Structure 1
Amino acid sequence: MKTPKRLLPLVEEGLIDEVISQLMSGKEATVYIVRCGDEICCAKVYKEANQRSFRKSASYQEGRRVKNSRQARAMEKGSRYGRKMQEEVWQNAEVDALYRLSAAGVRVPRPNICHEGVLLMELVVDADGNAAPRLNDVDLTEALALEYHEVLLREVVRMLCAGVVHGDLSEYNILVGVDGPVIIDLPQAIDAAGNNSAADMLERDVNNLRNFFAVFAPALQASQYSKEIWAHYKEGSLLPDVPLTGRVVLDERPADVDDVLLHVERALEEDALRRMSY
């Protein structure tokens, strides 16, 4: 096929030898199958901000670091330079997450390089060597649904052990490769320790998995794995192989209002100090 304009710099740099075909076009990027030497890879070309349907809400941006205070101020003001920095942070989030998770043994595509807004990474394939289908396109039996749910739940735990929450996990960004499910699409991934919405996003990710697989395995519908996983994380007892039951005991003790107000006061003080440092 004709080389897309956004891939020309990588061809000229010798990073891509041939563009074979377009694989898919989604809300945030267009993905191509490419040849890099003897290896068949995929090239994820990020769309410009005004072309993406996925909006970068403040809950995703929280906790993401930039190089210096000048960049942070520019991003807050929304200047041209600030918007450029936001794009870099948005794209680098996926690259950083992939390297971090790959090193932790999480089932994600192996990243190669990110250059000129294009991420080169492993092409996930099925048993026939073709591009792997998305989970929502796979026919599932009850037994297979239970197996895949267990596998993916363990991957979510392994991700959290590495300090990462996907933030947008569903059957649409999971591929079923030759060795089972592989998690993809991570530009909205967040740092669990640095984001106040991490628990809510984890719950949404886990509940998305539950709701999808419960169509094939109804016994999953009553499970509460997200609360159980987060409880282990808060207590410092979360390990990749921690036993999970899907059941939680609710804490019905009265809330400590004074303690809550103290945490709010400390957060306001930290925010004031951070703004002064700019």
Structure 2
Amino acid sequence: MKVPKRLQPLVDEGLVDTVLRQLMSGKEATVYVVRCGDDVRCAKVYKEASQRSFRQAASYQEGRKVKNSRQARAMEKGTRYGRKMQEEVWQNAEVDALYRLAAAGVRVPRPYICFEGVLLMELVTDADGHAAPRLAEVDLSMEQALLFHAQLLREVVLMLCAGVVHGDLSGYNILVDADGPVIIDLPQAIDAAGNTEAAAMLERDVANLADCLGRFVPALLELQYGKEIWALYSAGLLTPETVLTGRVAAPARPADVGAVLREIDIARREEEERQRYLQQD
């Protein structure tokens, strides 16, 4: 196929020899299958911020660090340079998370290089060597669904023990290769200790797993693994070997109305940020 404009710099630099085909186009990037020497890999081309349906919400940016105070001020003011820095931070977040999680034993694609807004990484394949399907597109038996759910809970725990929360985990960003689930799409990954929304995001990630696999095992929808995992993490008791039950004790204190109001305020600020960004463009 014709080389897409965004991939031409990688071809010019000899990082990619041939663009074979487009694999998929999502809310934040378009992915191509490419040949690099004797290897077939994938190239993830990040979309410009104005083209993404997934916005860099304030709750995801919290806790992310930049190189110096000038960059931080520019990002806060939303200048052109600041928006460029936001894009770099957004893209580098995935590269950093992939290396960090691979080192922790999490099943993620192996990253090779991020160059000119393109992430070159391992192509995840099924048992026949074809591009692996997404979990949401796979039909499973009850036994397979239970096995995958247990495997994915372990991946979530490994991620959290490494200090990372995916932040957008669902059946659409989990691939299934010959050995089971592989977690992908991590530009929105957050630092568990540096983000006040980490607990809510972790619980949402785990709930999305239950929603996806609950099609085959409805009993999964009744369990509270997300709350249990975060409670153990907060108490310093979570390890990769922790045995989970999916049950937590009912709270003895009244509902935290202040927390609900804070959630509303965060949503309001994110919408204001989105409107400011649109007005600047």
**TM-score normalised per structure 1:** 0.90
Report the 3-state secondary structure (helix = DSSP H, G, I; strand = E; otherwise coil) of the residue aligned with 1:236: coil
Letter in 1 for 2:157: V
How far off is 1:254 after superposition?
6.4
Using the aligned pairs only, state the percent identity: 75
How far off is 1:250 after superposition?
2.2
Change (3 A) 1:224 1:255: closer
Partner of 1:205: 205
**Aligned equivalents of 1:179 and 1:13: distance in 2?**
34
Partner of 1:171: 171
Partner of 2:193: 193
Report the 3-state secondary structure (helix = DSSP H, G, I; strand = E; otherwise coil) of the residue aligned with 1:99: helix
Partner of 1:15: 15
How far off is 1:45 after superposition?
0.3
Q: Deviations over 1:54-113 (max 9, x none)?
A: 011110000000001110000010000000000000000100000100111101000000
1:235 aligns with 2:235: yes
Q: Deviations over 1:204-235 (max 9, x none)?
A: 00001111211210111110001110011111
Partner of 1:57: 57
1:226 aligns with 2:226: yes
Partner of 1:110: 110
Letter in 1 for 2:135: L
How far off is 1:251 after superposition?
3.1
Report the 3-state secondary structure (helix = DSSP H, G, I; strand = E; otherwise coil) of the residue aligned with 2:172: helix
1:88 aligns with 2:88: yes
**TM-score normalised per structure 2:** 0.89
Q: Which runs of 4 or more aligned residues in structure 1 lie more than 3 Å from their structure 2 counterparts after TM superposition?
A: 253-256
**Aligned equivalents of 2:182 and 2:249: distance in 1?**
31
Report the 3-state secondary structure (helix = DSSP H, G, I; strand = E; otherwise coil) of the residue aligned with 1:172: coil
Report the 3-state secondary structure (helix = DSSP H, G, I; strand = E; otherwise coil) of the residue aligned with 2:159: helix
How far off is 1:255 after superposition?
9.0
**Aligned equivalents of 1:210 and 1:168: distance in 2?**
14
Letter in 2 for 1:108: V
User: What's the C-alpha RMSD, in Å, of the aligned pairs?
Assistant: 1.5
Q: Deviations over 1:128-171 (max 9, x none)?
A: 00000011111111111111111001100000000000000000
Letter in 2 for 1:137: E
**Aligned equivalents of 1:255 and 1:187: distance in 2?**
33
**Aligned equivalents of 2:46 and 2:242: distance in 1?**
36
How far off is 1:41 after superposition?
0.4
Q: How does 1:109-128 map to 2 (within 5 A)?
A: 109-128=109-128
**Aligned equivalents of 1:146 and 1:37: distance in 2?**
39
Q: How does 1:241-252 map to 2 (within 5 A)?
A: 241-252=241-252
Q: Which runs of 5+ in 1 are unaligned?
A: 261-278
Change (3 A) 1:31 1:255: closer
Aligned residues: 258
**Aligned equivalents of 1:215 and 1:254: distance in 2?**
33
Q: Which runs of 5+ in 2 are unaligned?
A: 260-281
